[in-house]
Chain A
C-alpha cells in the first residue's frame, strides 16, 4: 500500500496518460521531482507499458462483450477523477516500496489473459469464416438445411476451441498445483471437473476424427487422457498429481490447446 496520498488518488496514472489539466499536470511534475515513491511508480508504469506493448492485439473478450469491463472502467474514471483534482502534494511520511516484480507479474497476467481472449475470439471467427472478415453472408456456406462439410468442419473447430477454453480450468489448474503443498483434497475441484468434461471430450474427438480433423482430434486425445487420469485418480494417491503434471508437460497440452484455439487448426 502506498504511503503517498498523491499515488492513492491515482494521480500518477492520470499524469502518465496525460489526462490531467495543465495546471495540475505541472503540480504533479514538480511533486515527482521531490517524491521518490511517486517517481518510482511512474517508472513502473513505463515498464508496464513497454511489457504490454509486446502483447497480441486484443480483439474482444471470449464472450465478445466488453460491456461489463467498460462499465467498471467508466465508473472508476468518474469516481476517481474528482479525487484526483483535490489531491494534495505533500511529501510522504515514509517511503513505501512498491515492488516492481508484483507489477510486472500483473502485466504478464494481463498479457496472458489478453492472449487467451484474443485466441478464443479469433478461433471463433476463424472457424466460422476462415480468413475473411465476419460478414452476414459468409457464415453458412453449406447447401441444404444442415451445413456443408466445410461448414461442419469449421463449426467443429469452433466447438473444439471453446471446449479447450473450458478445459483450461482443469489443465492449467492441475499444471499449476504444488503437489507437496495441499494433498489430494487440494485438487478435488479439478478432478470433479475433469470427470464432467471427459465424455464431451471423447465425443468431440471422435467427431473430429470422422471429419478428418486430425490435428484437432490429436489435441482432444491428449486432453482426454489427462482428464481420464485426473478423473480416475484416487484421493489417497500422492503420486497421481505429479504424474498428470508430467503428462501435461510431456504432451505440451497447454501449448497445443492454445495453438488449436489460435489457428482453428484444420487438417
Chain B
C-alpha cells in the first residue's frame, strides 16, 4: 500500500509540469497554427482551427482564439458570424483585454454595413443608465436619414455562419433586433479611440454634427494622442469647416495638439493654407513655430520661408527655414540671400543649397567667396554631389 501511494505521488509529480505546460499561453499549438494560417491569409482553415481552439476545454487562451476567429470571419466576409463571435467573446470573457480590439472590429463591421445608427451610438453614446433594466439600447442622437442597411448576414457560399443559440430558419439573416444587440451590446461604453473611429466614417456624411465633436476631443481631451487623431480626422476630410476647425485648434489647443494641427495643415491644406500658417507663426511658441516652418516647407512656400529666414532672431528656426527653402527648390532665393547674409548664416545657406543639390549656386558661391574655410566647405559639398558640372568645376580649380 505504501509503495502504491509513493508510486501515485510520483506519477502525480511527474504529470504536474506537463499539465501546467499545457495551459501556458504560448503552448496552444492549435492557436499557434491558426495564427500562422492568418499570416498566410488562409481564412477558412484558420477559422476551422480557431473554432476548435475556442471549443477546446484545455485551451486557456480562449479569449484570444475568439478574437482571432472574429478577425478571420471578418476577413472572410462573414460579417454576421464575426459579430456573433465578438458577442460570445464579450459574454464569456467580459474582462479580457481582447474585448477592446474586438470592439474596434465591431465598429469596423458597422462601417462596412453602413449602419450609421450604430456609428452614432459609438460616437455619441447615451449617458449611462441608472439601474440596470431589460430595456433595449437607447436610440442614438438623431442622425441624418440613415442609409438603408444592405443585407447583412449573407454567409459566404457554402459556409454557414456560427450556429446561433436559436438558428435562423433557412440560413436567413438574423432579424434586426438581434443584429442590433450584436452591434450595440447592453452597457455599450466606447472609449475615445472608438468614438474617433466612428466619427471618421460619419464625417463623410454628417460633417455638421461631427466636426464639433471632433473639435471638442481635439481641444478638451486630456490625451494628446487622441486629440491629435481627432485633428487628423478633421484635416483629411477635405471639408472647409473642418479645415477652419484645424486652424482654430492650431491656435488654441495644447502645444502638442497645436503641433499636430499645424502638421496636418501642411499636409492636407489647400492653396490658402500658407497664409494661415504664416499668421499662426506670429502667435506661436518656438516648438509650434518649428512645425510651421516644416509645414511651409511641405507646401513649398519659399517666399514665406525666406521672410522667416530674414527676420527670425531665433537661430534654430532661422536655420530650419533656410534648409526647407533648399528642399522646396528655392535655390535661387538662397543664393541671393547668401550675398547679403551675415557670416554666421552662410554655413546653413550652404547646407540648404547642398540639400537642394543646387550645384550651380554652390559654384557661384565658390567662385566669389573670399573666406578660404567657407570656400573649402563649398568645394567639399561639390565633391559629394559629384555631378558633371561639379566635377568640371573642381577639375578646373585643381588646375589653377
The distance from the CB of A52 to the nearest CB of chain B, in whole angstroms, is 12
Task: Verify B267–A239 contact, CB threshold 8 A.
Answer: no
CA distance A247 to B201 in the complex (A): 29
CA distance A199 to B225 in the complex (A): 9
Q: Is the interface of B mostly helix, strand, loop or mixed?
A: helix
Contact of A236 (CB < 8 Å), options: B25, B351, B355 = B25
CA distance A66 to B381 in the complex (A): 11
Task: Verify A60–B300 contact, CB threshold 8 A.
Answer: no
A149 within 8 A of B: yes
The distance from the CB of B96 to the nearest CB of chain A, in whole angstroms, is 10
- Please name the residue on chain B nearest to A250 by beta carbon: B39
B354 within 8 A of A: yes
Instruction: Say which one of A7-15, A26-34, A100-108, A202-210 lies at the interface with B.
Output: A202-210
Task: Verify A140–B239 contact, CB threshold 8 A.
Answer: no
Instruction: Say which one of B149-157, B173-181, B269-277 lies at the interface with A.
Output: B269-277
B49 within 8 A of A: no
A172 within 8 A of B: no
Task: Verify B355–A66 contact, CB threshold 8 A.
Answer: yes
CA distance A246 to B155 in the complex (A): 30
Task: Verify B270–A145 contact, CB threshold 8 A.
Answer: yes
Q: Is the interface of A mostly helix, strand, loop or mixed?
A: helix
CA distance A44 to B270 in the complex (A): 52
- Please name the residue on chain A nearest to B354 by beta carbon: A66
- Beyond A66-B351, A133-B329, A134-B328, whether A147 also contacts B323 by CB under 8 A is no
Instruction: Say which one of A35-43, A83-91, A155-163, A254-262 lies at the interface with B.
Output: A155-163
Task: Verify B351–A67 contact, CB threshold 8 A.
Answer: yes
Instruction: Count residues of chain B with CB under 8 A from any CB of chain A.
Output: 68
- Please name the residue on chain A nearest to B246 by beta carbon: A146
Contact residues of A between 65 and 91, Cβ < 8 Å to B: 65-67, 70-71, 73-74, 77
Task: Verify B238–A142 contact, CB threshold 8 A.
Answer: yes
A50 within 8 A of B: no
A113 within 8 A of B: no
Task: Verify A243–B35 contact, CB threshold 8 A.
Answer: yes
Contacts of A149 in B (CB 8 A): 238
- Beyond A60-B327, A136-B329, A196-B225, whether A145 also contacts B300 by CB under 8 A is no
Task: Verify B355–A65 contact, CB threshold 8 A.
Answer: yes
CA distance A59 to B354 in the complex (A): 10
CA distance A142 to B101 in the complex (A): 36
Task: Verify A136–B302 contact, CB threshold 8 A.
Answer: yes
CA distance A85 to B39 in the complex (A): 59
B114 within 8 A of A: no
Quick one: CB contact mask for B206-249 with A, threshold 8 Å, 1 for yes? 00000000000000000001000100110111111011100000
Contacts of B380 in A (CB 8 A): 73-74, 77
Contacts of A225 in B (CB 8 A): 38, 71
Instruction: Say which one of B77-85, B137-145, B192-200, B360-368 lies at the interface with A.
Output: B192-200
Most buried by B among A135, A138, A139, A237: A139
Contact of B269 (CB < 8 Å), options: A138, A146, A199, A229 = A146
Most buried by A among B25, B196, B225, B273: B25
Task: Verify A155–B196 contact, CB threshold 8 A.
Answer: no
Contacts of B329 in A (CB 8 A): 133-136
- Beyond A74-B377, A74-B380, A239-B32, whether A146 also contacts B237 by CB under 8 A is yes
CA distance A232 to B63 in the complex (A): 12
Q: Name 14 A/B residue pairs within 8 A (Cβ), A-sorted.
A: A64-B327, A136-B329, A139-B299, A142-B238, A145-B243, A146-B235, A146-B239, A146-B240, A146-B242, A206-B111, A206-B201, A238-B26, A243-B36, A247-B38
5 additional A-B residue pairs with CB within 8 Å, beyond A156-B236, A202-B197, A246-B39? A142-B238, A147-B269, A152-B268, A159-B267, A238-B26
Q: Which residues of A contact B (CB under 8 A)?
A: 59-60, 64-67, 70-71, 73-74, 77, 124, 128, 133-136, 138-140, 142-149, 151-152, 155-156, 158-159, 196, 199-200, 202-203, 206-207, 210, 225, 228-229, 232, 234, 236-240, 243, 246-247, 250-251
